[in-house]
Amino acid sequence: MGIMDDRAQLKGKAALVIGGGGGIGRAVSLDLARAGARVALCDIDPEALAATAGDVRAEGELLLAEIADACDPASIDRVFAAFDALSPHLDILVNVAGGTRFGMFADSTVEDWERDAKWNYLYVLQSCRLAIPRMRAAGGGAIVSVTTIEAHRAAPGYSVYAGYKAALTNFSRSLAVELGREGIRVNTVALESVPTASQAKIRTNFHWKDPSRAEELTRAGFEMYVPMGRTGAHQELSNAVLFLASELSSFITGTTVHVDGGAWASSGWTRWPGDGWYFPRPSPSALERMFPASE
Ligand SMILES: NC(=O)c1ccc[n+]([C@@H]2O[C@H](COP(=O)([O-])OP(=O)(O)OC[C@H]3O[C@@H](n4cnc5c(N)ncnc54)[C@H](O)[C@@H]3O)[C@@H](O)[C@H]2O)c1
The residue from 161, 164, 225, 278 that is catalytic is 161
| 189 CB neighbour count, 10 Å cutoff | 25
Given a contact cutoff of 8 angstroms between Cβ atoms, the answer to whether 91 and 67 are in contact is no
d(CA 156, CA 102): 9
CA of 248 to the centre of ligand 1 (A): 25
What residues flank ligand 1, with Cβ below 6 Å? 19, 21-25, 43-45, 48, 68-71, 96-99, 119, 146, 148, 191, 193-194, 196-199
Q: Is 161 a catalytic residue?
A: yes
Q: How far is the CA of 65 from the centre of ligand 1 (A)?
A: 17
pLDDT (tens place) for every residue of the chain, 295 residues total:
799 999 999 999 999 999 999 999 999 999 999 999 999 999 999 999 999 999 999 999 999 999 999 999 999 999 999 999 999 999 999 999 999 999 999 999 999 999 999 999 999 999 999 999 999 999 999 999 999 999 999 999 999 999 999 999 999 999 999 999 999 999 999 999 888 877 777 666 655 567 777 778 888 889 999 999 999 999 999 999 999 999 999 999 999 999 999 999 999 899 998 889 998 888 888 888 888 876 5
Q: What is d(CA 292, CA 179) in angstroms, rounded to the nearest whole number?
A: 60
What is the pLDDT, as a whole number, of residue 203? Answer: 65
Model confidence pTM above 0.85? yes
pLDDT of residue 204: 62
Largest CA distance in the chain: 79
What's the confidence (pLDDT) of residue 291? 83
Which residue is closest in CA terms to ligand 1's atom 28?
Answer: 97
Q: Are 214 and 208 in contact (CB under 8 A)?
A: yes
Domain limits of the chain?
Answer: 3-194+232-261, 196-231+265-295
Q: Which ligand 1 atom sits nearest the alpha carbon of residue 234?
A: 20
Looking at ligand 1, which residue's alpha carbon is closest to its atom 15? Answer: 198
- φ, ψ of residue 133 to 5 degrees: the values are -60, -30
Give me the helix-helix angle, 159-179 and 123-138, nearest 10°: 20
Per-residue model confidence (pLDDT) at position 243: 98
Hey, which CATH number is domain 3-194+232-261, 3.30.300.30, 1.10.1740.10, 1.10.600.10, 3.40.50.720? 3.40.50.720
pLDDT of residue 209: 64
Q: Which amino acid is at 102?
A: F
Ligand 1 atom at minimum distance from 119 CA: 31
DSSP characters over 26-81: HHHHHHHHHTT-EEEEEES-HHHHHHHHHHHHHHSEEEEEEE--TT-HHHHHHHHH
Query: For residue 16, which of 54, 56, 55, 74 has the smallest C-alpha distance?
Result: 56
